[in-house]
Structure 1
Amino acid sequence: MLKQRAITALILLGLFLFALFLLPSLGWAALVIIITMQASFEWARLSELSKKTTTVYLVLTLTVMLGIVWLDAQYPEQFVSLHMLIYGMSALLWLIMVPLWLIARWQVRQPLLMMLTGWILLIPTGLAMIDLRMLNPWWLLGVMGLVWVADIAAYFSGRKFGKHKLAPNISPGKTWEGVFGALLGVTVYVLLIVYSNDLLTDNAALFGLLMASWGWVGLAVIGDLFESAVKRQAGVKDSGVLLPGHGGLLDRIDALTSTLPLAAMVILFQRMA
Structure 2
Amino acid sequence: MLRTRLLTAFVLLVVVGLSLFWAPPQVWAGLVTGVMIWAGWEWAGLAKAVFWQRCLYALLIPLLYRIGRETSWQDLGMEGSLVFWVVLVPLWMKQQWRISGLPLLAVGLLVLLPTGWSLTRLQHQGNLVLLALMAVLWISHSAAYFTGRLWGKHRLAPAISPGKTWEGVAGAGLAATVYGAIWWWLARAGSSSMTPLVNHLGWGWFLLVWGLVGLGILGDLFESWIKRCAGVKDSGNGLPGHGGVLDRIDALTATLPLAALSIHLLGGA
In the superposition, the TM-score normalised over structure 1's length comes to 0.90
1:65 and 2:65 are equivalent in the alignment: yes
1:113 and 2:103 are equivalent in the alignment: yes
The separation in 2 between residues aligned to 1:271 and 1:82, in whole angstroms, is 19
2:2 alignment counterpart: 2
Which runs of structure 2 are paired with 1:173-184 in the superposition (5 Å)?
173-184=163-174
The separation in 2 between residues aligned to 1:130 and 1:215, in whole angstroms, is 20
The separation in 1 between residues aligned to 2:209 and 2:155, in whole angstroms, is 23
Query: The residue matched to 1:166 in structure 2 has which SS?
Result: strand
Query: The residue matched to 2:267 in structure 1 has which SS?
Result: helix
Query: The residue matched to 1:169 in structure 2 has which SS?
Result: coil
Q: Is the 8 A contact 2:123 2:129 kept in 1?
A: yes
> Alpha-carbon deviation of 1:50?
2.2
Output one character per residue of 1:34-76: Cα deviation in whole Å (capped at 9) or x when no partner.
001101111111111122332332232232123235x3xxxxx
Cα gap change, 1:233/1:20 in structure 2, threshold over 3 Å: closer, same or farther? same
2:192 alignment counterpart: none
Q: Please, which runs of 5 or more residues in structure 2 have no aligned partner?
A: 189-194
> Alpha-carbon deviation of 1:182?
0.1
1:98 alignment counterpart: 89
2:246 alignment counterpart: 250
2:119 alignment counterpart: 129
Query: The residue matched to 2:229 in structure 1 has which SS?
Result: helix
> Alpha-carbon deviation of 1:115?
1.2
Cα gap change, 1:205/1:134 in structure 2, threshold over 3 Å: closer, same or farther? closer
1:209 alignment counterpart: 205
Q: Is the 8 A contact 2:208 2:259 kept in 1?
A: no
2:263 alignment counterpart: 267
> How many residues get paired?
260
**Deviates further, 157-166 or 86-95:** 86-95
> Alpha-carbon deviation of 1:2?
0.9
**Deviates further, 122-131 or 220-229:** 122-131
The separation in 1 between residues aligned to 2:241 and 2:103, in whole angstroms, is 31
2:154 maps to which of 164, 169, 177:
164
The separation in 2 between residues aligned to 1:105 and 1:125, in whole angstroms, is 24
Percent identity at matched positions?
Answer: 43
The separation in 2 between residues aligned to 1:205 and 1:268, in whole angstroms, is 15
Query: The residue matched to 2:142 in structure 1 has which SS?
Result: helix
1:74 alignment counterpart: none
> Structure 1 residue runs of 4+, over 6 Å off?
none
Q: Is the 8 A contact 2:47 2:102 kept in 1?
A: no
Which letter does structure 2 place at the counterpart of 1:49?
A
1:238 and 2:228 are equivalent in the alignment: no
Query: The residue matched to 2:266 in structure 1 has which SS?
Result: helix
Q: CA RMSD in A?
A: 1.9
> Alpha-carbon deviation of 1:265?
1.0
In the superposition, the TM-score normalised over structure 2's length comes to 0.91
The separation in 1 between residues aligned to 2:202 and 2:117, in whole angstroms, is 28
> Alpha-carbon deviation of 1:215?
2.0
Query: The residue matched to 2:237 in structure 1 has which SS?
Result: coil
The separation in 2 between residues aligned to 1:67 and 1:82, in whole angstroms, is 9
> Alpha-carbon deviation of 1:267?
1.1
The separation in 2 between residues aligned to 1:135 and 1:192, in whole angstroms, is 20
Output one character per residue of 1:207-251: Cα deviation in whole Å (capped at 9) or x when no partner.
x43233222211001000000000100111111111111111110
> Alpha-carbon deviation of 1:177?
0.2
**Deviates further, 127-136 or 224-233:** 127-136
Cα gap change, 1:130/1:253 in structure 2, threshold over 3 Å: closer, same or farther? same
Output one character per residue of 1:177-211: Cα deviation in whole Å (capped at 9) or x when no partner.
00000000001100111112325999x943x4323
Which letter does structure 2 place at the counterpart of 1:161?
W
Cα gap change, 1:82/1:271 in structure 2, threshold over 3 Å: closer, same or farther? farther
Q: Please, which runs of 5 or more residues in structure 1 have no aligned partner?
A: 72-78
